């Protein structure tokens, strides 16, 4: 009888320890707020995965992984107008604009403010006090950001799981994607450095847009590296990566201060507008 009593006591103690452990995990998650990261099949691997950066020849960041702060919308009892009014107090966007987005089916509203864990806790308390906790949640979403519109065509896009869909993001997805390892808290992808000079790239982009050009153009240094490119030709995109040691795949015309190539003879009048902007490399 005494052994049975001890066994029962040990069993109850074990149950209590399990309950306390689960409670501690739940409390830790509640303190930080949900973080939405790319989905991976193996849940034993680290949840923090950071895609490699894309940089220009001078180390300027062209594409980075960074968080978006905002609110997940999952309307239950409240109206879209009520939710929009709540969100508008955390952003410069007005409630009417936010309400229109929600009515159009938006399930995430991004805000420009960076939320600390303390601020997320206060938001959660306010949601509970205003009976909105079943309709909206503060969240952090990991996203891919392009730092300059002039390189958007080259860099390309990623999907919701931060996997490359187009451009350099797709061509070098195996390099940029992190390789998760068990026991590692944060896994990082490799950076990709280009021969592009973002200052020259910006000038080429502005010139092509100002002339309503639908063709493509490249500016090469005297050593044959592409320092600016307007287009999406994969052969040229691959020649932008410094570590590949690839050369420009087409014939280029000497402009005196660099080399340019156009897909259409009608674009040759752009040459003097750009050649004067090419620095020495």
**Residues 6 or more apart in contact with residue 179 via CB below 8 angstroms:** 187, 189
Fold of the domain spanning 61-146 = Alpha-Beta Plaits (3.30.70)
Phi and psi torsions of 78, nearest 5°: -80, 160
| pTM of the complete model | 0.72
pLDDT of residue 21: 41
Q: Determine which of 68-72, 139-143, 214-218 has the lowest per-residue pLDDT on average.
A: 214-218
Angle at 170 between CA 44 and CA 41, to 5 degrees: 15
Distance CA 144, CA 160 (A): 9
Angle at 234 between CA 232 and CA 239, to 5 degrees: 105
Q: What is the mean pLDDT of residues 45-58?
A: 85
Distance CA 234, CA 262 (A): 16
Residues 60-117 pLDDT 10s:
999 999 988 999 999 998 999 999 999 999 998 999 999 999 999 999 999 988 888 8
Which pLDDT band holds residue 59 (cuts at 50, 70, 90)?
very high
Which pLDDT band holds residue 277 (cuts at 50, 70, 90)?
low
Is residue 247's pLDDT more than 50? Answer: yes
Q: Which two tokens stand for residue 12?
A: 């109850």
**Pairing relationship of beta strands 61-73 and 136-146 according to DSSP bridges:** antiparallel
3-state DSSP assignment of residue 170: helix
Is residue 17's pLDDT more than 70? Answer: no
């Amino acid at each position: 009888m005494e052994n049975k009593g001890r066994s029962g006591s040990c069993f109850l103690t074990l149950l209590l320890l399990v309950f306390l452990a689960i409670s501690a995990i739940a409390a830790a998650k509640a303190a930080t707020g949900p973080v939405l990261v790319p989905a991976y099949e193996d849940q034993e691997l680290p949840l923090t995965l950071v895609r490699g950066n894309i940089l220009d020849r001078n180390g300027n960041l062209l594409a980075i992984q960074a968080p978006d702060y905002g609110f997940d919308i999952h309307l239950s009892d409240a109206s879209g107008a009520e939710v929009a009014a709540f969100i508008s107090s955390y952003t410069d966007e007005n409630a009417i604009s936010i309400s229109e987005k929600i009515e159009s089916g938006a399930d995430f509203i991004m805000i420009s403010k960076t939320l600390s864990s303390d601020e997320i806790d206060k938001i959660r308390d306010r949601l509970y006090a205003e009976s909105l906790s079943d309709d909206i949640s503060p969240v952090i979403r990991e996203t891919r950001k392009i730092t300059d519109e002039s390189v958007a065509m080259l860099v390309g896009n990623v999907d919701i799981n931060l996997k490359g869909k187009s451009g350099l993001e797709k061509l070098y997805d195996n390099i940029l994607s992190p390789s998760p390892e068990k026991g590692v808290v944060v896994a990082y992808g490799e950076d990709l450095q280009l021969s592009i000079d973002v200052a020259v790239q910006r000038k080429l982009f502005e010139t092509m847009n100002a002339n309503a050009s639908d063709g493509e153009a490249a500016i090469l240094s005297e050593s044959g590296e592409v320092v600016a490119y307007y287009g999406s030709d994969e052969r040229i995109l691959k020649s932008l990566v410094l570590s590949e040691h690839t050369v420009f795949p087409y014939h280029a015309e000497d402009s005196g201060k660099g080399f340019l190539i156009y897909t259409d003879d009608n674009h040759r009048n752009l040459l003097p507008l750009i050649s004067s902007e090419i620095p020495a490399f």
